[in-house]
Structure 1
Amino acid sequence: MTVEQFLTYLQHEKRYSPHTVQSYRTDLIQFRDFMSQTFEIELEAVEYVHVRNFMVWLMEEGITENSIGRKLSTLRSFYKYLVRGQVIRSSPMTLVKAPKVPKRLPVFVDDQKLDVLLDSDEFFDGSFSSVRDRLVIETLFGTGMRLAELLSLKESDVNFYESTVRVLGKRNKERVVPIGKLLEDQLRAYIELKTLQNFDNKTGGLFVTDKGADAYPTLIYRIVQRYLSFISTQDKKSPHVLRHSYATSLLNRGADLNAIKELLGHASLAATQVYTHNSVERLKSIYKQAHPKA
């Protein structure tokens, strides 16, 4: 069973996204090359000690704990696949433990700062590109969707009657996210303005470039980084920061954790619980500022 067979399985049976499959491909090719050059063995002959050597090499190369953990996760999936296909008897990953990753709180932008940005006409001149840019920020912060989900949005995914947006998440799992009146009005205005541009866009993609082609990841990153730099000095300014901001704002205003999980499209509650740490830190800060005994 080859690496390509495994990747085909991920794509067609597990329904992983092209981006995820490419990440698996990169990890496996790197591992295969290391095994071939260092030990002159095929992937089916790998043992625990070989994987340990691979980990040591990654650490010496300065690869972060997070990246090493991801690569080991790729190898676990691959060897589990080989065991299931009876290519090997047991996985060399059984005794392998990933390096401990220091806990990091999700980076977010305070919603009051975002209000200053989005409620002001100072940063937006009314042109098509500025209307689109503002809507990108509003949509990411107003729905908490991922970058890939934003890029896959079609005009038909917006339901103005029910004030919702249909989002296609990881592994093609759909969810419906409610939108507020302000975001709904901005979506209407943007779609009308976009229609007036007479773009030759046949895909029906919601977000497009200034020339009408489908929006792409680098464009969205540039938009988010540009506008967040007006209101924030923090280093990290990405679409995912707005997803974190959405979740943190909901939690701080009393939203149920299970409801946030559904809105974000998380597979498990554990992924959502990380936001509770931000809220605890906020409570501590308020306590220190307000309580006479703090």
Structure 2
Amino acid sequence: MDFVKEFLETSKENGKITDTTHEMYQRDLKDFKEFIRGKEWIDVDNDDILKYIEELKKKYSDRSIYRKVSSLKSFYRYLLQKRIIDFMPMKEIELPKLQKAPLKILELQELNRVLEQCGDSFEGKRDSLVIRLLCETGLKINDILEIEKDMLETYEYKNITTTKGKRVYSEPISEKLGSDLKNYIEMLKNPEEKRVFGQLSRQGFRARFISYGKKAGIKQEISPNMIKRISIEIKDKHGNDDISFIEKIREAYMKIGIGDD
């Protein structure tokens, strides 16, 4: 039986993990499997985990080690719940608590400078739309990249709808952004592509976003996750009132020069 495949599929179906976490678990479990060299998952014991941690210390930071061991814990916790194993092989292992990294903030004015670097090329317009969607919806980059044209048409370019497990989430977007998305779709190079942003990957967009930040003269290294914090801050001020939130986003856009053409 492929325990890893069953664990990943079950976790994803139950909405417990995102696509990003799925990839991370898959990679971390593969690395550990290579380390134990043919030993069966159910035969792993406490010593195997301790030796693995010592090996990881040669190449990885404390934060990466913590994550990799956490991935193993999640997997073995699943096996224990399914009664495939009788004990947790890392039950006696305690990792030190990690210090939280200082919160990095991206200001709206800095976001505008990033958007200015996107330019008028096809790829630039695409990246600009992704950034604005992240800001308006507060969704994760993977959710944005999975948006399909049919969904936008169904909701008349007024909402972005995503599914996580058995739950459906709908986030409103501004009229300006909806109009720009519609215009972008009309000039797509591959009309047969279902996804609005084609084969653009999370890693690819992240690299481009960091590059825009450097070109914009922003001293700190920026990441797409920082855009979501802008959305959260504005949403916190207006609660769950979608109309107030969208209006606030529109006001912020106008102040920094987005959407005033």
| Fold shared, TM-score > 0.5 on shorter chain | yes
Superposition pairs of residues 240-255 of structure 1, within 5 angstroms: 240-251=225-236, 254-255=237-238
1:116 Cα deviation from its structure 2 partner: 4.8
* Inter-CA distance 230–30: structure 2 relative to 1 (3 Å threshold): closer
- Asked if residue 47 in structure 1 is aligned to residue 45 in structure 2, the reply is yes
| TM-superposed deviation, 1:166 | 0.8
Give me the whole-angstrom Cα distance separating, in 2, the residues matched to 1:202 and 1:50.
Answer: 50
Choose which of 124, 130, 138 in structure 2 pairs with 1:130.
Answer: 124
Identify the residue that residue 196 of structure 2 maps to in structure 1: 206
CA offsets 1:243-289 (integer angstroms, 9 cap, x no match): 233224444xx244x889xx9xxxxxxxxxxxxxxxxxxxxxxxxxx
Contact 1:11 1:18 in 2 (8 A): no
CA displacement 1:46-68 (0-9 Å, x = unmatched): 33343223223322x14122222
Aligned to 2:158: 163
**Matched position secondary structure for 1:167:** strand
Q: Does structure 1 retain, via aligned residues, the 8 Å contact 2:157–2:181?
A: no
Question: Structure 1 length normalisation: TM-score?
Answer: 0.67
Partner of 2:32: 31
SS in 1 for 2:187: helix
Q: Aligned in 2, Cα 1:179/1:82: closer, same or farther, shift over 3 Å?
A: same
CA distance in structure 2 between the partners assigned to 1:41 and 1:162 by the alignment: 52
Unaligned segments of structure 1, at least 5 residues: 209-213, 264-294
Task: Go from structure 1 to structure 2 and tell me whether the alpha carbon gap of 1:145 and 1:35 turns closer, same or farther (over 3 Å shift).
Answer: same
Q: Distance in 2 between matches of 1:250 and 1:192?
A: 31
Relative to structure 1, is the Cα distance of residues 32 and 178 closer, same or farther in structure 2, using a 3 angstrom cutoff? Answer: same
Structure 1 residues 1-294: aligned runs within 5 Å: 1=1, 4-12=2-10, 14-15=12-13, 16=17, 19-36=20-37, 42-59=40-57, 61-118=58-115, 124-125=119-120, 127-158=121-152, 161=156, 163-169=158-164, 171=165, 173-194=167-188, 199-208=189-198, 214-251=199-236, 254-256=237-239
DSSP 3-state at the match of 1:74: helix
Give the conservation status (yes or no) of the 8 Å contact 2:159–2:170: yes
Does the 8 Å contact 1:157/1:167 carry over to 2? no
Once residues 166 and 123 of structure 2 are traced to their aligned partners in structure 1, the CA distance between those partners, rounded to angstroms, is: 29
Higher relative contact order (CA 8 A, sep 6+): 2
Mean Cα deviation higher: 157-166 or 132-141? 157-166
SS at 2:91 equivalent: coil
Distance 1:259 1:26 in 2: 40
Contact 1:225–1:238 at 8 Å: present in 2 too?
yes
Larger Rg: 1
State whether residues 107 and 244 of structure 1, in contact with CA within 8 Å, keep that contact through their aligned partners in structure 2: no
Distance of aligned partners of 1:18 and 1:101 in 2 relative to their CA distance in 1, 3 Å threshold: same
Alpha-carbon distance between aligned partners in 1 of 2:142 and 2:64, rounded to the nearest angstrom:
20
User: What CA deviation, in whole Å up to 9, does each residue of 1:191-228 have, x standing for no partner?
Assistant: 2333xxxx3442421114xxxxx323344234322332
Q: Percent identity?
A: 23
Q: 1:28–1:74: 8 Å Cα contact kept in structure 2?
A: yes
> Structure 2 vs 1, CA of residues 142 and 89 (structure 1 numbering), >3 Å: closer, same or farther?
same
The TM-score with structure 2 as length reference comes to 0.74
Distance 2:156 2:19 in 1: 33
How many residues align structurally?
239
Superposition CA RMSD, Å: 3.2
Per-residue CA deviation, residues 168-195 of structure 1 (Å, 9 max, x unaligned), is 45x575311111233223223222333x
